[in-house]
């Protein structure tokens, strides 16, 4: 048993010994290379996701969520058998999944806390280290398990499902597809509604590689502005409901009032963040737009594809030009960047990754924005209804240069987007004030603050 505390909540978690859950049936032993989009340095890390579920006596009927999910997991791994394998590193550091059938790590736990005590659940989730325990020896990208799942029963009868995924194997849409399938099998289906498709070779570089785009997203440059540098970093969430979004739209020229919400919010956040960090006027700053490119390929990738299929088109500016620009101009820059993600752009991306030795995406002077709202996390139903919160567990586990859009409903019934961010403490206060200013004084900060 371990005792954990935050500034807002204290509780204890009792964990059982972690076990490996293999596929319920025999599966092929193969060596399956990851794609060249999968196999970039930026994706060689673990990503935590958490889902909170309320008690539902009419559905539970005395069933144990940990047992239900564990049994469904074994069945689902028959379809997603690469997840039960281990990554090996081949020639030139090429990543390959050996489908060993060893299984994924599963942890069963109990916490002496009720769901209501978490309040508006949001990142950074209190005591996430106990709700998604880092089993010793399990975090290695090469050679370690590809998934870790913890089911924690709460005192009130609700439960928490924590998932840690090896990002080299799948993206947000891919793990969302897996989790929806897990819920379907937990509810009694024999086959997931979307059958998984591997087909990683569709995203490989051409031979020889011939990039046709400059790809500044993979150029680190000389910028000194790195958001996760120094001490005193904090993580905080910002909520954009209907009121806030309407205020932001009202500041746009008439021709842009119906723009995509991704473009509007990314432009707003990027300008406010750059201002808050007090970037030198001539410093180059970048926005990387995380784009799900499944439908951008020609032909589109097959339904069920669960590998990384993300483009990172960059918007590049000097800090001075960005903060002085009209927000409408920045919105158009973001829109053009996202529209640039075509079949040829993605082919060029794979070529550039191989030609440049599998580089990291830019971090210095760079802000990554990803929309998680379409990945299905909020639709994962294990038989007790949808989660009250589903999404990233903590942004601080990432490089500190990213924000995510998370579909969110507050305990007061407000629907909108939750956007977590990590910044040095003083810059975070300035970031908050910038957002209050552009939303007409709206109290967009609805979160707890935690040190990172």
Q: What is d(CA 362, CA 407) in angstroms, rounded to the nearest whole number?
A: 27
| Tokens 């059938």, located at residue | 101
Q: What is d(CA 118, CA 129) in angstroms, rounded to the nearest whole number?
A: 15
215 flagged as catalytic: no
381 flagged as catalytic: yes
- Per the residue annotation, which of 102, 228, 329, 381 is the catalytic one? 381
- Measured CA to CA in angstroms, residue 376 lies from 75, 346, 409, 410 at distances of 20, 24, 15, 18
- Per the residue annotation, which of 39, 110, 167, 368 is the catalytic one? 167
Of 261, 249, 226, 246, which Cα lies nearest the Cα of 405? 261
Positions annotated as catalytic residues are 167, 381
């Amino acid at each position: 048993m371990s005792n954990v505390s935050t500034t807002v909540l204290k509780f204890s978690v009792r964990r059982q010994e972690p076990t490996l859950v293999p596929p319920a049936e025999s599966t092929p032993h193969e060596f399956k290379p990851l794609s060249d989009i999968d196999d970039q340095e930026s994706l060689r890390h673990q990503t935590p996701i958490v889902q909170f579920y309320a008690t539902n006596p009419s559905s539970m009927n005395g069933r144990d969520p940990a047992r239900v999910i564990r049994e469904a997991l074994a069945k689902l791994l028959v379809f997603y058998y690469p997840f039960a394998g281990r990554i090996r590193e081949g020639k030139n550091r090429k990543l390959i999944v050996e489908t060993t059938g060893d299984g994924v790590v599963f942890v069963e736990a109990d916490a002496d806390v009720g769901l209501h005590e978490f309040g508006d659940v949001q990142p950074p989730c209190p005591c996430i280290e106990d709700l998604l325990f880092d089993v010793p020896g399990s975090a290695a990208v090469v050679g370690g398990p590809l998934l870790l799942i913890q089911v924690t029963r709460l005192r009130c009868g609700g439960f928490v499902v924590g998932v840690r995924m090896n990002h080299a194997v799948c993206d947000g849409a891919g793990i969302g597809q897996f989790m929806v399938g897990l819920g379907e099998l937990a509810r009694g289906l024999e086959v997931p509604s979307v059958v998984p498709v591997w087909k990683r070779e569709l995203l490989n570089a051409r031979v020889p590689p011939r990039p046709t785009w400059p790809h500044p997203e993979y150029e680190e440059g000389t910028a000194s502005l790195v958001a996760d540098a120094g001490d005193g970093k904090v993580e905080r969430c910002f909520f954009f409901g209907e009121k806030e979004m309407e205020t932001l739209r009202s500041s746009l020229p008439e021709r842009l009032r119906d723009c995509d919400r991704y473009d509007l919010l990314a432009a707003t956040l990027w300008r406010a963040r750059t201002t808050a960090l007090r970037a030198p006027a001539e410093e180059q700053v970048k926005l990387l737009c995380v784009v799900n490119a499944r439908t951008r390929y020609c032909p589109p990738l097959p339904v069920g594809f669960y590998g990384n299929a993300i483009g990172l088109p960059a918007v590049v500016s000097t800090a001075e030009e960005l903060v002085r620009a009209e927000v409408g101009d920045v919105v158009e820059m973001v829109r053009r960047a996202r529209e640039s993600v075509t079949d040829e752009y993605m082919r060029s991306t794979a070529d550039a990754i191989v030609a440049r030795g599998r580089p990291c995406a830019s971090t210095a002077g760079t802000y990554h924005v990803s929309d998680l709202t379409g990945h299905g996390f909020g639709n994962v139903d294990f038989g007790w209804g949808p989660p009250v919160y589903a999404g990233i567990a903590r942004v601080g586990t990432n490089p500190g240069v990213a924000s995510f859009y998370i579909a969110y409903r507050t305990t007061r019934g407000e629907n909108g987007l939750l956007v977590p961010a990590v910044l040095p403490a003083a810059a975070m206060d300035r970031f908050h004030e910038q957002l209050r200013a552009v939303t007409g004084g709206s109290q967009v900060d609805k979160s707890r603050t935690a040190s990172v």
